[in-house]
Structures are given as C-alpha cells and as structure tokens.
Chains A and B, each alone.
Chain A
Amino acid sequence: MVITAVMKVGVLALQGDVREHISALIACGVNPIPVRRRQELDAVEALVIPGGESTTIAHLAELFDLIVPIRSRIARGMPVYGSCAGMILLAQNILDAKAGQKSFGGLDITVRRNAFGRQVDSFESDISFADGSKELVRAVFIRAPWVEKIGQGIEVLAEIDAHPVAVRSKSILATSFHPELTGDHRIHSYFIEEVARTALQEVQ
C-alpha cells in the first residue's frame, strides 16, 4: 500500500445520518464511500457507523449478511468509529436493548441505550475531549446512550456526570454524541489521523 494514497473510509449506509458523516470525512481529506454491501465493505480500509436507529441498522445488517464480515474485519484491526447508534453497535453488551438485538461488538464496554432519556431530554453541551487540545467541543446528544461499564484497555476520552460518552480501544473509537451535526470536524479528524492512520500503519 502506498502511504500517500488517500484513505478509503466507508460509512455504513443502511440507515441514519450517512450524508453528514460523509461531509465531515471529505473535510478531513479522505475518500468516503457509502457501504451497504459486502463488496463495498471489502473495498474500504476503515469504517464509520453513523447515528441512526440501532435496532434498524442491526436488523438490516443481519438481513444483508454484514454482521459477521464487519465483526471479523474489526477483529482483524480495521479502524472503526461509531457515533450514538454506532457506539451501541460496537459495544460488547447493550442494556435496555430490544430483545435479541445484535451488535458488531469489538469494544469491551456495556452501553445503556437512551440513557439520557427520550427526545425531550436530548441536549447539546460543551465538553472536554481528551485529544490533547484544551478547547471544548460542542457535543449533541440525541436519545443518546452512555457507557455504563468499561472493560480492560478502554480509554475514556470524555464523560458527562461521571458517565463515559467517548471511549477508545486502539483502533476503535465511539462517541455517544454526534460530531457530524456541528460542522466541527475535530472528532472525525482525531479518528482519521490518530486512530485510523496509526492502526493502518501498524498493519503494514
């Protein structure tokens, strides 16, 4: 692989705010493509799982045979970032899930769905994000989950009221909030430059 090649980043496009993630990734200088099929997944080096309805995305992923391929790519080190529903889909354990709700897993965390409440409790707030910058980041929480329990090797990057809302484990990043809605691409840029590029260079 040529180091100077533009990174190919897939956005899982079964349902949700795919367009916003694609715009944010373009702003980060990578080449984003929507992923709905196995061949499209095989063509990308990293994957973003958007915000949306986690039960719907899981349902469609199962129907179109994407659960196992995504799970095994993650296990083999594919860098992946999930926002909100994406965090739920990357969690090993889900609380308040629909009966039998599947996830891709990969992150040794337990998340609670809709932990902050229903839509009337959705909010935005400035929070600190541990990427080395002291600047606060505007975070939009929509029927958002939080991390209830973390396993080994999980780094907490942001929290609200002692609940982790941004976590990382090597090549996997997850946030409860939606940086794709604010026009500030700091979190996406952190994913591309710090998480994905590092992980892909190690694989080489």
Chain B
Amino acid sequence: MGEIVMSQEKGTGRVKRGMAEMLKGGVIMDVVNVEQAKIAEDAGAVAVMALERVPADIRAQGGVARMSDPDMIQMIQAAVSIPVMAKARIGHFVEAQILQSLNVDYIDESEVLTPADYKNHIDKWGFTVPFVCGATNLGEALRRINEGAAMIRSKGEAGTGDVSNAMQHMRQINGEIRRLSSLREDELYVEAKEMQAPYELVREVAEKGKLPVVLFTAGGIATPADAALMMSMGADGVFIGSGIFKSGNPAQRAAACVRATTFWDDPKVIADASRGLGEAMVGINVADLPAPHRLAERGW
C-alpha cells in the first residue's frame, strides 16, 4: 500500500464547499477575544468568527470598520480547536490575502465592515481559503457564487437583534428558487438576464431546486427561537453575531441556541432551551434605522 504517491489537490471547489457542508446544522458565533471563543467552543459552536467589534458595537461607535488585528485572530486560533473564520471588507483582496496567510478556515467578505470597493467584490477563485458572502436575494447569491463564494449566508440587519430582515431575505431567496424550478427551460435565459446572474448557475438552481452551496442565515438572531425560526425557513445553519455576547448570560444563551438549531422542529426542546436565559440583547428595530445605516444594503 502507498507505493504510489498520488497528487493532493488543495483549494478545489469540492474542498471549499465541502467545508461548509460540515458546518451544517450548527451555530457560528462572533467572538472578540479568547475568553469568548472558549465560551463559544464549550457551548457547542461549530466555528467562531474572530472580529474586533461585534456588529452592535460597530453600529454604536461608527467609524470605518476593518479586518481584525492578526494577533487577535492568532490568539483565538491557538485557544480553540474548532474552525476560526474572519471578516474582510467587501472588495478588499489584500485583507483577504492577509487572512489567508494567517490560515483562517473561512473568510467572510462582509457588509458588516465598511466596503473597500463599491463596485467589485473580491475575485475569490484565486484563493485557497474558502469564502462566505451575504445575499439578500437569489441574483446576489449567484453573483457571489460566480465570483467563487463557497458558502452563502442570507443577510439580516446585523447588530440589531431584530430578526425581521433575516426572515425577509431567507423567504426572498427560497421563494425565488421555488419560482425558478417552476419555469420552462426556455424561460431561464431571460430570467438570468433579469436576475443579473450567469445562465449556467440559474439553470443549475432551477434543476436542483437549491443553491449549489450551503445557505446559512445571519443578522439579528438573538434567541433560541430566532435560530429555530430561521432553520425552519430552510437555513442550513445560523450565524449569531451580537446576540450572544451582548446578552446577560452568554454561555447559557450560546448553548441554548445550539440546542434550538439542532431541534428546530421540536418546540418542547426550544422551550426548555429558552428558560431562564436572562436578558437578551436590547436591540434596535430595523424600521427605526435610517437607510444609510442599513448594512444589508451593502453589496451589489
């Protein structure tokens, strides 16, 4: 055995998309330091997102939000055994190159940070590390996949604790997928044009009735019930940003959200998970946010 050494191919589509498949049914939690990362790992998070400020603080403090300090990312990598993700600004391929050199497990090209390019996203095919990108509708999701994203998360309004936007975008994406599946083959060309998405991807979605990559949800999820709601809307898993570490009892809330994500269809388990969690993050109604402060609208 082993007399022939076969080539080992890194960074293939299968390896990148496959990594996201392994995260399914799980919760990915935003953390800003080693202590939070350990709490997340102990609570059963499938991965952590290392960043300097959670979206709620970025919102409160304002200013330009950028990639995190490499030291901070590496300290978190050293502290936990689960995958560590990090965010780069939309279009900021140098931040992405830096994150790849740090061996992060996934890069989130994220609208939560201040965009570096208002026209182009990062060309993600050139990287070995996989990317996740946000989307508010199917066309946006397919444009990101066309640029090499290996995982999509529906956008919500990050840092608000208001789940309504995540709900709206998940309904939008899945509704459009269902509609595509009902079209005649000769109608897909115009559909692709109107969606501003490549025809090949549009046809693939129409045939399979699902995205070619894993679809998570993000933005405004603050309770176990929110997580279960998004799972029952067809999310493959959940990102929780400010919802955990801006709450009264992060360790317990984190574990509760993990339980509710696995047993999203069992109200009894979710009820148990929801007991005695203390204060949830205070939250902001998305409707009260002036349009320029809405993060979900970033990305094109």
Q: Are B81 and A96 in contact (CB under 8 A)?
A: yes
- Of the candidates A17, A84, A178, the one having the most CB atoms from chain B within 10 angstroms of its own CB is A17
In the assembled complex, which residues on chain A have CB atoms less than 8 Å from the CB atom of B24?
Answer: 15-19, 52
Task: Identify which of residues 124-149 in chain A touch chain B, using a CB-to-CB cut-off of 8 Å.
Answer: 124-128, 130, 136, 140-143
Q: Mark B124-139, 1 if CB is under 8 A from A, else 0.
A: 0000111000000000
Q: Are B22 and A142 in contact (CB under 8 A)?
A: yes
Shortest Cβ gap from B300 to chain A (Å) = 27
Residues of B within 8 A of A (CB): 1-2, 6-12, 14-15, 18-19, 21-26, 41-47, 77, 80-83, 100, 103-106, 128-130, 255, 258-259, 262-263
Q: Are B44 and A51 in contact (CB under 8 A)?
A: no
In the assembled complex, which residues on chain B have CB atoms less than 8 Å from the CB atom of A141?
Answer: 15
Residues of A within 8 A of B (CB): 13-20, 36, 51-53, 55-56, 59-60, 63, 84-85, 96-98, 113-114, 117-128, 130, 136, 140-143, 156, 158-162, 178, 181-182
Shortest Cβ gap from A160 to chain B (Å) = 7
In the assembled complex, which residues on chain B have CB atoms less than 8 Å from the CB atom of A20?
Answer: 21
Shortest Cβ gap from B133 to chain A (Å) = 16
Shortest Cβ gap from A85 to chain B (Å) = 7
Q: Are A59 and B128 in contact (CB under 8 A)?
A: no
- Which residue on chain B has the smallest CB distance to residue A53? B46
Roughly how many angstroms separate A140 CA and B255 CA in the complex, as a whole number? 30
* Nearest 3 pairs of A and B residues by beta carbon: A59-B44, A119-B105, A123-B8
- Which residue on chain A has the smallest CB distance to residue B80? A98
Q: Are A60 and B258 in contact (CB under 8 A)?
A: yes
Roughly how many angstroms separate A123 CA and B11 CA in the complex, as a whole number? 7
**Among candidates A60, A96, A178, residue contacting B44 with C-beta atoms closer than 8 Å:** A60
Q: A120-B10, A120-B103, A140-B14 are in contact. List 11 more A-B contacts (CB 8 A).
A: A15-B26, A20-B21, A52-B23, A52-B26, A56-B45, A63-B255, A123-B8, A124-B15, A125-B8, A126-B6, A128-B1
